[in-house]
Chain A
Amino acid sequence: MPVKDYIRERFFPHLWCPGCGHGIVMNALIRAIEALGLSKNEIVMVSGIGCSSRISGYLDFHTLHTIHGRALAFATGVKMGVPGLNIIVPMGDGDALAIGGNHFIHAARRNIEMTAIIMNNRIYGMTGGQYSPLSGYGTLATTAPYTNIDHAFDVVQLSTAAGATFVARTTTYHVQQMIDCFKKAILHEGFSVVEVLSQCPTYFGRKNKMGSAADMMAFYRDHTAPIGSEKKKENPDLIERGIFVQKDLPEYCRAYDKIIERAKGKGKKG
């Protein structure tokens, strides 16, 4: 199916700013789904609130646009309701890791099968450019006019520590890697996290003098390196890209199915 079959064309052009990284994530996600040959009826997309979370309205799946930070909790109910569904949960950095932080670590801990996509543009874009837990020390934002004193999460480490069994990081520059990560994340039977370093040229970019959207993507090209690569060894300050965790552990819904088997057996006795 061509890419346009996956979008709700009547709503295009979409609401994102020129050069917004979210559009690139959407583009890559569609291609990953197309490459996997998934049926549109088996996909449920659950998003929260923010520019990132508007992605669900533009895609032709079962789409659930929920409340700020709680997408993973809604998604848990959907997944347990019909475990055969393919659940994709795109969220912004603030939505997933500030207000949604608790639900993030618990969904990871449960290893419930769904794909969390952290569209990390290091800002709260929809509300006009406030700092997020991913903005980073020393950056400027509308609520950090004297520079941010908060240090950022390392999303890969956080996901891994919480128990996610598939953890990847990529950027909006590295589109082929992004498509590949999405494919593997969706196929992975467990809690998958893909962090996409993305750009908000309108707020984060302008406030922090990072140039155009293309400049910000070039920044990701120049400041990241594949995991364990020579480039990284030469410059330890670079951010690693790639698949950090990919392991097979019991998935939550399947484990609960076993509970049902045992409970049914018990119920029959006497």
Chain B
Amino acid sequence: MKDNIRFIQGNEACVEGALYAGLDFFAGYPITPSTEIAEHLSYRLPQSGGKFIQMEDEIASMCAIIGASLTGHKVMTATSGPGFSLMQEALGYAIMTEIPCVIVDVQRGGPSTGLPTSVSQGDVNQARWGTHGDHAVIALTASNHQDIFAITVEAFNLAETYRTPVILLFDEVTGHMRERLVLPEEGEIPLVGRLRTSVPEGVDYHPYLPREDGRLPMSDFGGVHRYNVTGLFHDMWGFPSNNPGVVQGLLRHLMDKINNNAHQIARYNEYFVDDAQVLLISYGSAARSALHVVQNRRPRGERVGLLELQTLWPFPADLVRERCRTPEIVMVVEMNMGQVLQAVKLAVDDPEKVFLANRIDGSLITPTDIRNILRVIQGKGV
């Protein structure tokens, strides 16, 4: 067997992707079903000179990675629903201060303590709106280990490109199941490095002044430029300001830098979408079952297709609107009460043909579940 093939949990695939992307600082707190990420990184990071710390809670974990990112490191934390709730304030801080970082939420049954060892996809809306105030966020997901690896690398790339936190919404099924992963060669997947300012020492450096291409060069704390970072609204030097023009400008910038680039951030897979009469839209482990339905029914002449979303936020509304134009039925397959369903209905021209195929009892939605729901919608009964 080649030495670049692994048979590992999805959590470990995420670890491999993060290390491939250059992760060298992790702070976290144990919580099922994400704990393996912390455990693996506690072992792997110091082997290459990186650092791991188990903090006293999730709030401290999120704060610690922000601090470390400012000193020039690529950083990540990992948690599940309850921990993700705790991280929201600090996540908003990272958004406001435009500090790159990656947050993994391996989703489990919620709300509250919920189902620590069972799957759900209940945090999609929380990823979008969990922290207070108007803001934009990038949230990605994947349905298999090869994609978990690749999308984790992508998360680090997007975090650096847009100087923003990126959320990885995995779930208990893909997180814990074991599957084959082929480790890419070094250089096979392009990496985006930290963009550092070229402003020399002694010259005024503006931490929040975008370049012509929209990117904001950073300067490592401890380096030659001393500046201020604050969660208050601030001017381009990082000093607090409540000047209406400054506030308006900064808020627009924080929203626009991500929402105006939704096309560039959209990641997805398509299976038999072009001529689909029934279009399934799914993501994460639910998409595995949706894909099975497509692969099972197509040979039998049913024109079923699957649009597998890997970018959940900013929601790829244009893509979804376009793909939903021709199918007669659109079914959003997810394990929550219709969080992506809402976004799809808002995006399409005819929301009355969009239906929900869901499962919310802690079990993975099965291909049979999806087929049965489809048959009911089609008036055929189970």
Contact = CB atoms under 8 A, between A and B. Distances in A.
Complex: A in contact with B (CB within 8 Å): yes
Interface of A: 11, 40-42, 44, 46, 56-57, 60-67, 70, 73-82, 84-85, 102-103, 106, 256, 259-260, 262-264, 266-267
Contacts of A76: 27, 53, 55, 60, 63-64, 67
Chain B interface, >50% SS class: mixed
Given A44-B222, A56-B228, A73-B61, 17 more contacts: A41-B222, A57-B230, A63-B227, A64-B70, A65-B229, A65-B240, A70-B59, A76-B64, A77-B27, A79-B67, A81-B25, A81-B71, A81-B72, A82-B71, A102-B56, A106-B55, A267-B47
Interface in B218-243: 220-224, 226-232, 239-240
29 contacts: A40-B226, A41-B222, A41-B224, A42-B222, A46-B67, A57-B230, A63-B226, A64-B67, A64-B221, A64-B228, A65-B231, A65-B240, A73-B61, A76-B60, A77-B25, A77-B70, A78-B221, A81-B25, A81-B70, A82-B220, A85-B222, A102-B57, A103-B60, A256-B51, A260-B49, A260-B51, A262-B46, A264-B49, A267-B47
B73 A61 contact: no
A63 B229 contact: yes
A61 B224 CA distance: 10
Nearest to B101: A77
Chain A interface, >50% SS class: helix
B228 A82 contact: no
Given A76-B67, A80-B53, A84-B222, A64 B229 contact: yes
Contact of B67 (A41, A60, A77): A77
A67 B89 contact: yes
A77 B28 CA distance: 11
A80 B221 contact: no
B64 A73 contact: yes
A70 B49 CA distance: 26
Contacts of A79: 67
B66 interface: yes
Contact of B68 (A70, A77, A259, A260): A77
Interface string B41-53: 0010111110101
Contact of A85 (B56, B75, B221): B221
B90 interface: yes
Contacts, number: 136
B65 A70 contact: no
Nearest to A58: B228
Given A264-B46, A266-B47, A73 B67 contact: yes
B93 interface: yes
Nearest to A65: B230
B72 to A, nearest CB: 7
Nearest to A15: B240
Contacts of A78: 67-68, 70-71, 221
Contact of A63 (B51, B61, B228): B228
Nearest to A103: B60
B67 A74 contact: yes
Contacts of A267: 47-48
Contact of B226 (A41, A102, A103, A264): A41
A263 B45 CA distance: 9
Contact of B47 (A46, A60, A264): A264
Given A78-B68, A78-B70, A266-B47, A57 B63 contact: no
Given A41-B222, A73-B60, A57 B73 contact: no
A97 to B, nearest CB: 15
The 5 closest A-B pairs by CB, nearest first: A77-B67, A81-B71, A263-B46, A77-B64, A73-B63
Contacts of B239: 11, 57
Given A64-B229, A65-B232, A67-B63, A80 B25 contact: yes
A202 to B, nearest CB: 21
Contact of B222 (A63, A82, A260): A82
Contacts of B45: 263
A56 B231 CA distance: 13
A77 B66 contact: yes
A19 B158 CA distance: 48
Given A62-B222, A264-B49, A81 B73 contact: yes
B222 A67 contact: no
Nearest to A84: B222
Contacts of A256: 46, 51, 53
A78 B230 CA distance: 15
Nearest to B25: A81
Given A11-B239, A103-B60, A264-B46, A70 B90 contact: yes
Nearest to B231: A67
A44 to B, nearest CB: 6
Contacts of B57: 102
Contacts of A61: 226
B66 A74 contact: yes
A243 B192 CA distance: 49
A63 B48 CA distance: 29
B56 A103 contact: yes
A69 to B, nearest CB: 9
Contacts of B47: 263-264, 266-267
Interface in B66-82: 66-73, 75
A266 B93 CA distance: 38
B63 A77 contact: yes
Contacts of A73: 55, 59-61, 63-64, 67
* Max chain B C-beta neighbours (<10 A), residue from A41, A60, A74, A82: A74
Given A41-B226, A62-B226, A263-B47, A80 B231 contact: no
Contacts of A11: 239
A66 B72 contact: no
A191 B229 CA distance: 24
* Max chain A C-beta neighbours (<10 A), residue from B61, B64, B90: B64
